[in-house]
């Protein structure tokens, strides 16, 4: 009886006005459909022989990076729809493309640099390698005096994020994590805009 009652109640709701219904359709399209389509690239689904850029981000930061990059892709999709209706001159298209290419290359290099400075690879017992954010420098205090970052984490601290933050400094680690995620978002967004410009060129 209860499911039927709920069905009757939901069926009795009035349809939204035409403009609101169109807004809802666009909202779901940009906010959901686009993200689902990009799920393999963003790293939500495993694709054989393909390692997503998300694997560059430490495991405990991947959920937040995925959520933020999904939102960023939705914003790019809205921009594509908006600017796709405008007629752009060949000169302006070329200028935008060069700017987008420079932004993509610059943010990619920034991502590599930040990743190399703030993360360390730690080899697990399964012979897999896991990246851990530690910040830009190791404090000279026990229990890791004389040890490199990887050995410090593997032999003394373990992969417990709380232990790592205690040794390296909570604020330093979180700041480094934020910089890494922002660099990841900047690159994925600029690359998405670069692809959008190719779409504009093809008409």
- When pLDDT is averaged across residues 28-35 and rounded to a whole number, the result is 83
Euclidean distance between CA atoms 104 and 77, whole angstroms? 17
Residue 11 has pLDDT above 70, yes or no: no
- Neighbour count for residue 3 (Cβ, 10 Å): 7
Tell me the Cα Rg of the chain: 23
pLDDT tens string 34-47: 888 887 777 777 77
The pTM of this model reads 0.80
Average pLDDT value over all residues in the chain: 83
| 8 Å CB contact between 132 and 119 | yes
% of the chain beyond a pLDDT of 90: 18
Q: Which of 194, 198, 131, 182 is nearest to 161 (CA)?
A: 131
Mean pLDDT of 39-63: 79
Q: Which residues pair with 47 in a beta bridge?
A: 50
Statement: residue 50 has pLDDT above 80: no
Q: Please name the residue ranges forming H helices in the chain.
A: 2-11, 18-28, 34-37, 39-42, 59-83, 90-118, 149-151, 161-168, 170-202
Q: Is 52 left (phi over 0), alpha (psi -120 to 50) or beta?
A: beta
Instruction: Give the pLDDT mean for 26-39.
Output: 82
pLDDT of 111-120, one tens digit each? Answer: 999 999 999 8
Q: What is the DSSP string of 39-58?
A: HHHHTSS-BTTB--GGGGS-
pLDDT given for residue 1 in this prediction: 45
Q: What is the pLDDT of residue 129?
A: 80
When pLDDT is averaged across residues 55-75 and rounded to a whole number, the result is 86
CB 186 within 8 A of CB 124: no
96 or 44: which leads in pLDDT: 96
Could you count the other beta carbons within 10 Å of the beta carbon of residue 195? 12
Please report the pLDDT score of residue 103 as a whole number: 94
Predicted pLDDT at 4: 54
The ranges assigned to domains in the chain are: 17-202
Q: pLDDT band at 3, cuts 50/70/90?
A: low
The C-alpha angle with vertex 15 and arms to 23 and 2, in degrees rounded to 5, equals: 120
Q: How many C-beta atoms lie closer than 10 Å to residue 117's C-beta?
A: 15
């Amino acid at each position: 009886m209860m499911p039927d009652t709920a069905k009757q109640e939901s069926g009795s709701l009035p349809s939204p006005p035409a403009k609101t219904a169109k807004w809802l359709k666009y909202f779901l399209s940009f906010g959901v459909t686009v993200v689902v389509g990009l799920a393999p690239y963003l790293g939500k689904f495993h694709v054989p022989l393909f390692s997503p850029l998300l694997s560059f981000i430490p495991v405990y930061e991947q959920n937040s990076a995925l959520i933020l990059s999904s939102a960023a892709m939705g914003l790019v999709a809205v921009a594509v729809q908006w600017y796709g209706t405008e007629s752009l001159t060949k000169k302006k298209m070329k200028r935008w493309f060069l700017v987008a290419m420079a932004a993509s290359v610059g943010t990619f290099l920034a991502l590599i640099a930040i990743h190399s400075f703030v993360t360390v690879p730690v080899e697990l017992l399964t012979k897999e390698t896991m990246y851990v954010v530690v910040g830009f420098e190791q404090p000279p205090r026990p229990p890791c005096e004389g040890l490199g970052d990887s050995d410090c984490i593997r032999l003394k601290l373990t992969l417990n994020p709380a232990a790592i933050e205690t040794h390296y400094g909570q604020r330093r680690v979180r700041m480094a994590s934020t910089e890494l995620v922002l660099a990841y978002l900047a690159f994925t967004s600029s690359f998405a805009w670069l692809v959008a410009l190719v779409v504009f060129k093809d008409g």
